[in-house]
C-alpha cells in the first residue's frame, strides 16, 4: 500500500532503523522494489527522479501496489526542482514530494518549501526538504566541506517550513566518491538531537556499510540509493553475458530440451535481479527487515 512517507520515517526514527529509498525508473525496478519489500517484510520508499517520468512511474506504481498490497511503501518525488514539477507529482498521486532548493539562498529555500508544504499537507502528502547541499561524488574533495548543514539554520528551517523530514549534508555525496567518504558524525548527532523530524541521507552509494550503520545509530531514518543498485544490475547483466546467457527450456516432451536464445527481455530481467539483490542487501544492513 502506498502511504505518506512521514508515517514510514517516523516509525524508523522511533525504532532506530532506516528505510531504503531506491531510485526506481521503470517497470522492472518498481516491481523489484515491491518484491524486495514483500520478501523481507520491509518498508520501502520509491524515489522517482523527474527525469524518469512522474506520470509514467506513478501509473506503474499504482499497478504494482495492487499486486503487492502487503508492502508499506511511499512514492516520493526525488529532487523536485521547483513549484511546477512538485505540483505535477502531487497531481500524479505521489504520497510524498521532495522540494530541493538547497543551492538557493536560505530565505528562498525556506519560502519555497513553506509554500509547497502548505499545498502538500492540505492533501495529506509528506514533504522532504534539503538544507546544506549534498553534491556530486566527482567533485567531492573540493565541495564536501562547503555544503555541510549548519546547525543554527536547521531548527528555524523546520519550524518555519513545516517540512516532514530533512535531507542533511553531513559528508555524503551523490554517485561515485572522488576520495574517501568522511562523515561528520558529531554534526549528525547534534542535528538529530535538535531537529524533531526524521533525517534523510542522500548519496548512500559507496559510503561504506560501517558509515551507513553508524549514521543510522546517529539519527538517520531514510537512505537514498541509486548508483550501487545500478551497478548491481549492470554486474548481473555482464555476468550473464559472459556465460552466454543460455537458458535451458523444457520442450513439449520431457526429453526435449532446447537452449533459449538471448533476448532483450532476459537482459532486463537479469538487470532487475542484480538491482534487487543489492537493494535487499541494503534493507538488511539498515535494519528494516520484518518491520511490516
Ligand atoms: P547515490 O547514487 O550516491 O546512491 O545517491 C542517490 C541519491 O541520493 C538520490 O537522491
Tell me what pLDDT residue 246 has: 64
The position carrying cell 538547497 is 102
Band of pLDDT at residue 254, cut at 50, 70 and 90: low
Q: Which three cell numbers stand for residue 220?
A: 538517520
Closest by Cα among 85, 92, 83 to 116: 83
Binding pocket residue ranges, ligand 1, CB within 6 Å: 23, 78-79, 174-175, 202-205, 224-228
CA 21 to ligand 1 center in whole angstroms: 9
Exposure of 227 by Cβ count < 10 A (0-12 exposed, 13-18 middle, 19+ buried)? middle
Tell me what pLDDT residue 143 has: 86
Give the residue ranges of DSSP H helices in 145-263. 151-161, 185-194, 209-217, 227-242
Phi (first) and psi of residue 117, to 5 degrees: -60, -40
- Tell me: pLDDT of 250 over 80: no
- Tell me: pLDDT of 206 over 80: yes
Q: Any catalytic annotation for residue 254?
A: no
Band of pLDDT at residue 256, cut at 50, 70 and 90: low
- Tell me: pLDDT of 257 over 60: no
In the predicted model, what is the mean pLDDT of residues 99-120? 98
CA 78 to ligand 1 center in whole angstroms: 10
Band of pLDDT at residue 242, cut at 50, 70 and 90: confident
DSSP annotation of 82 reads: S
- Tell me: pLDDT of 23 over 80: yes
Degrees to nearest 5, angle at CA 32 with 28 and 35: 140
CA 197 to ligand 1 center in whole angstroms: 21
CA of residue 92 relative to chain centroid, distance? 19
Q: How far apart are CA 47 and CA 115, in angstroms?
A: 22
Tell me what pLDDT residue 243 has: 81
Tell me what pLDDT residue 263 has: 80
Model-wide pTM > 0.85: yes
Q: Which residue out of 11, 47, 78, 184 is catalytically annotated?
A: 78
Amino acid at each position: 500500500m502506498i502511504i505518506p512517507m512521514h508515517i514510514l520515517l517516523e516509525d524508523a526514527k522511533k525504532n532506530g532503523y532506516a528505510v531504503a529509498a531506491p531510485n526506481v525508473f521503470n517497470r522492472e525496478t518498481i516491481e523489484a522494489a515491491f518484491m524486495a519489500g514483500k520478501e523481507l517484510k520491509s518498508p520501502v520508499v520509491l524515489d522517482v527522479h523527474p527525469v524518469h517520468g512522474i506520470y509514467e512511474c506513478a501509473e506503474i506504481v499504482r499497478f504494482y501496489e495492487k499486486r503487492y498490497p502487503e508492502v508499506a511503501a511511499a512514492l516520493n518525488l526525488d529532487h523536485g526542482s521547483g513549484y511546477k514539477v512538485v505540483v505535477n507529482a502531487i497531481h500524479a498521486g505521489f504520497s510524498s514530494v521532495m522540494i530541493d532548493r538547497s543551492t538557493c539562498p536560505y530565505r528562498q529555500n525556506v519560502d519555497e518549501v513553506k509554500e509547497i508544504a502548505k499545498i502538500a499537507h492540505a492533501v495529506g502528502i509528506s514533504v522532504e526538504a534539503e538544507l546544506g547541499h549534498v553534491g556530486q561524488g566527482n567533485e567531492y574533495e573540493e565541495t564536501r566541506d562547503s555544503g555541510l548543514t549548519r546547525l543554527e539554520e536547521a531548527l528555524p528551517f523546520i519550524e518555519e517550513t513545516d517540512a516532514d523530514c530533512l535531507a542533511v549534508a553531513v559528508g555524503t555525496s551523490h554517485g561515485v566518491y572522488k576520495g574517501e567518504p568522511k562523515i561528520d558524525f558529531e554534526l549528525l548527532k547534534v542535528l538529530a538531537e535538535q531537529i524533531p523530524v526524521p533525517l534523510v541521507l542522500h548519496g548512500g552509494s559507496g559510503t561504506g556499510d560501517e558509515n551507513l550503520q553508524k549514521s543510522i545509530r546517529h539519527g538517520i531514518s531514510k537512505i537514498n540509493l541509486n548508483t550501487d543498485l545500478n551497478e548491481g544490475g549492470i554486474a548481473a547483466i555482464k555476468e550473464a553475458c559472459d556465460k552466454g546467457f543460455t537458458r535451458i527450456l523444457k520442450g513439449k516432451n520431457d526429453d526435449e530440451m532446447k537452449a533459449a536464445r538471448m533476448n532483450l527481455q532476459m537482459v532486463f530481467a537479469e538487470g532487475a535481479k542484480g538491482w534487487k539483490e543489492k537493494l535487499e542487501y541494503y534493507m538488511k544492513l539498515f535494519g528494516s527487515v520484518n518491520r511490516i
